[in-house]
Amino acid sequence: MVNPEIPSVRKTVASQIVAVTVYSDKALVTRRGIVSLTGHEKELVISPLPDVIETESVRVGGKGKVAARLLEVKCDRIFSTEPVAAKVTQLTQQIQQLEAEWQHLQAQLDALGLQSSFIQGLRDKTEEQFSISLARKSLSLSETLDFLNFLGSQYSEYAIATTECKTRQQELEKQLQTLRQQLQSIQTPHPKESYSLSVGIESAGTGEFELEVSYVVSRASWTPLYDLRVSSTSNAVNLGYLAEVTQSTGEDWLGVTLTLSTAKPGLGTLPPKLEPWYIDVPNFPRELRKRLASIPTANQLSAAEAVAGMPSPVSENLNEDYIEAETVVAEVNREGSVVTFKLNGSGNIPSDGAPHKTTIFNDDFPCSFDYVAMPRLVSFAYLQAKVRNSANGATLLPGKANIFRDNIFVGTTQLENIAPGQEFKVNLGIDEGLKIERDLVERHVDKKLISNTRRISFAYRLIVTNLLNQEADLKLTEQLPVSRNEQIKVRLIRSHPQIQLGEMGILEWDITLSPQAKQEIYYQFVVEHPPQLRVMGLDV
């Protein structure tokens, strides 16, 4: 028994998570707790901490109304058994409630069975008398219909009610099976692994002391997600920069200051080392191939070296007042190539392994629109937006983007890494504001051979109509066949507007159409080959 008059040299600190910085594959967690020192304490303890801690990453600091010196920091692995009495009681009650509901449904099914049997017996007993009465015309037509409707409605009601009861019973059986498995699982105790953190301390006297601990945990990550919204009446794209944060560290992050970082601390601070690049003949010995495949391609640093490049949470003022903005919802900071997004407001990310969306910022980006069309494949034009990232903005990391046009979802795309000031394209789908007609106006085979060569000529006419009330820029692409045989020649004879034949038979026209204007495009080409040679692929 501990004598209350003897001060304890070991004191447990009640702490809570106050800040989290999430990286692409881990997170830096900061805890704080206030303890009243008496001057006799030799060790402060925070326990339990999750088993996904990288123990080499633990850092401690603190401040208080009494001078103190922090000494050795130790992380000890501990095993404990979770209390299961409360969970057992809760699951037992749920099972009992569902079993009671199942029994109630079974009673309803039994009653419906009795009622259905009674109706069946009534039908059997009255069937002969009913037939005699009907033959003697002692029953009217209305009485006959009433009797038939009565039997039919009763059978229908009993059948529907029986089906509903059985369906609900099947649902309850599935729920009961799940709950019974959970009950069986928790009734078999499994030791839970965690860590206990102890910090040696020397204090100059009595007073309050705030201990701060930071550590890196795995099983945490964030990925970018974008919403791109385009309006037909605006030359701007509204870009919503979102983040999906996922964590299953065993600790809930509730009411914390949440920061998202583009840094990659796990890659270390040294560049990778190139290993020899081997090539050989296909019959290379299998075992030697296995050994060569196992050669590492980079020297990984320890977790302690990785954490050395992380920003220290101790120097941040976590108690500052935030002013909530209307559109910008994160504070963007750039140090070299690393960008951090400090979210304004409290972050709430439970340890459930599910993605939780949070907004980084929402802003308008200037853009210009143009159209692309390939009428040989599709008789529609596709709208594209050329968007420029703000020169003073944040880097847009690779991620999925949902595209909305006039508040209508049109599809998804994948954004690459986009630096500040960089231009990128967004495909917005088919736009029926441009009408394209394409016709084969000539397909002629010369009857006379010239220099023992057969000549086939083709001509196409395209008419593009701008149905919009604004000017439209269009890049229209057509295609000539490409010969893979030196005896087959393909030549562009004429084009209007005139252009040069590009690589791989590509024809491209850059057209600017005024509102409600039309543009005609015409081109003609010939295919020449020896008459005895059969040409494949000329079906047009």
**Tens-digit pLDDT profile for residues 178-213:** 888 888 877 766 667 889 999 999 888 899 999 999
**Tens-digit pLDDT profile for residues 366-381:** 999 999 999 988 888 9
The residues, ordered by sequence, that sit 6+ positions from 296 with a Cβ below 8 Å of its Cβ are: 275
Long-range Cβ pairs for the range 391-396 (8 Å, 24+)? 391/420, 391/421, 392/420, 393/332, 393/363, 393/420, 394/241, 394/332, 394/334, 394/339, 394/341, 394/360, 394/361, 394/420, 395/262, 395/339, 395/419, 395/420, 396/224, 396/226, 396/241
Question: In the chain, what are the domains?
Answer: 10-82+192-217 (2.60.40), 85-186 (1.10.287), 220-263+310-431 (no CATH), 264-309 (no CATH), 434-529 (2.60.40)
Q: What is the pTM of this model?
A: 0.56
* Statement: residue 474 has pLDDT above 60: yes
Q: Cα(112)–Cα(469) distance, rounded to whole angstroms?
A: 69
Residue holding tokens 């252009």?
Answer: 499
Q: Cα(392)–Cα(415) distance, rounded to whole angstroms?
A: 19
* 3-class state of residue 499 by DSSP: coil
| Bigger pLDDT: 84 vs 229 | 229
| Bigger pLDDT: 144 vs 480 | 480
pLDDT, residue 136, reads 63
Of the listed ranges 97-106, 157-166, 182-191, the least confidently predicted one is 182-191
178 membership: H or E segment, kind and range: helix 141-186
pLDDT, residue 485, reads 86
Of the listed ranges 100-114, 153-167, 270-284, 440-454, the least confidently predicted one is 270-284
pLDDT, residue 411, reads 84
